[in-house]
Amino acid sequence: MSARILPPTPEAIAEAVALLRAGLPVGIPTETVYGLAADASDGAAVARIFAAKGRPNDHPVIVHVAAGADLSRWAARIPDAARRLMDAFWPGPLTLVLPRAEGVLDAVTGGQDTVGLRCPSHPVAQALLAAFGGGLAAPSANRFGRVSPTTASHVADEFGDAVPLVLDGGPCEVGIESTIVDVSGEVPILLRPGHVSAMALSRVLGGAVLTRAQMDARRPVPRVSGSLSAHYAPRTPLRLAEPARLAGEIAAAAARGLSVGVWARRDPGGAACWLESPADPELYAQSLYATLRNLDGKGLDLLLFEQPPQDPAWMAIRDRLGRAAAGSGEG
């Protein structure tokens, strides 16, 4: 049995609202990736999305809000840096971590004193939020540690009838998860790179935005291991290779009798399957997860992706590829 996928008609939106009010999860499109939404003020509903994902309960989840929503229900205060980022990038693919307001559920914050808020720009997400009239807790609609979904059918494939309804908003325009900035402390910290780049953030803030690794390096306490957590991972082992090494890696794998799927700018030859990767980082991000899912479904022994350029424009993509490779058991 598979979830029902409906085009986002007013009737489908009304049905989604009814399901959400009844505490059930709904798959929703956003401009980044599809989310698995629940009423953020209903602890049992939030617990259901965690259970469906197989995600540990102490992980915080992002609350999605309508454009112009009253944020005082979620955030204790809106620091100046947060206000500037909202004015510049909301609605859009940017999540802000803010001091939590009293009454925000521990199930949403993971018991922390902050809450992640995002105002998505996807018109179907906005229509649903407006009709629902509250905040929607929505992690990416994939099982824990797996590849995020960028189409409605990815969501239906992933959850089957555990999710009663998925609203179809078409393929996601951005394709990778939102940029996350922690603006709850003295300095803004980039927690997850995304489409809204570090450079765009610092332009608006009038100063550099530090990454968590840079923050940790400044502190006189021992650094938490920088190992990449298993995330965004295909089931087939994924390895990254510099362009000049692709052909050699394929030959080595072939010598071990392995069939290889390659995503690279040009066909290096010798692979069981080669797909051409886009030269433009935005197009690359848009097709990254669908390509991972596609190649993962081909029964190959190894996926070999060309390492993208070191340029800042590819920062978020390098982050996701690194995690996908680490999570697949390859490095």
Residues that bind Mg ion (CB under 5 A): 140
Residue 197 found at the interface with ligand TXA (CB under 6 A): no
| CB nearer ligand TXA, residue 61 or residue 69 | 61
Residue 288 found at the interface with ligand TXA (CB under 6 A): no
| CB nearer ligand TXA, residue 120 or residue 234 | 120
Return the structure tokens found at 198.
Answer: 């570090």
Binding mask 297-326 for ligand TXA (x = CB under 6 A): ------------------------------
| CB nearer ligand TXA, residue 139 or residue 308 | 139
Nearest distance in Å: CB 313, ligand TXA: 19
Number of residues that bind ligand TXA (CB under 6 A): 24
- Distance, C-alpha 294 to centroid of its chain: 18
Nearest distance in Å: CB 148, Mg ion: 6
Nearest distance in Å: CB 112, ligand TXA: 5
| CB nearer ligand TXA, residue 131 or residue 191 | 191
Contact range with ligand TXA by CB under 6 A, out of 138-146, 243-251, 300-308, 321-329: 138-146
Interacting residues with ligand TXA between 61 and 100 (CB under 6 A): 61-62, 95, 97
As a whole number of angstroms, the distance between CA 256 and CA 244 comes to: 20
From the list ligand TXA, Mg ion, none, pick the one residue 29 interacts with, judged by a Cβ distance below 5 to 8 Å according to partner type: none
Residue 107 found at the interface with ligand TXA (CB under 6 A): no
| CB nearer ligand TXA, residue 94 or residue 241 | 94
As a whole number of angstroms, the distance between CA 205 and CA 84 comes to: 7
| CB nearer Mg ion, residue 188 or residue 194 | 194
Instruction: Assess contact for 25 and 122: CB atoms under 8 A.
Output: no
Residue 129 found at the interface with ligand TXA (CB under 6 A): no
241 CB-near residues (< 8 Å, 6+ apart): 249, 304, 305, 306, 307
**Site residues (CB under 6 A) for ligand TXA?**
30, 32-33, 35, 59-62, 95, 97, 109, 112, 114-116, 118, 120, 138-140, 177-178, 180, 191
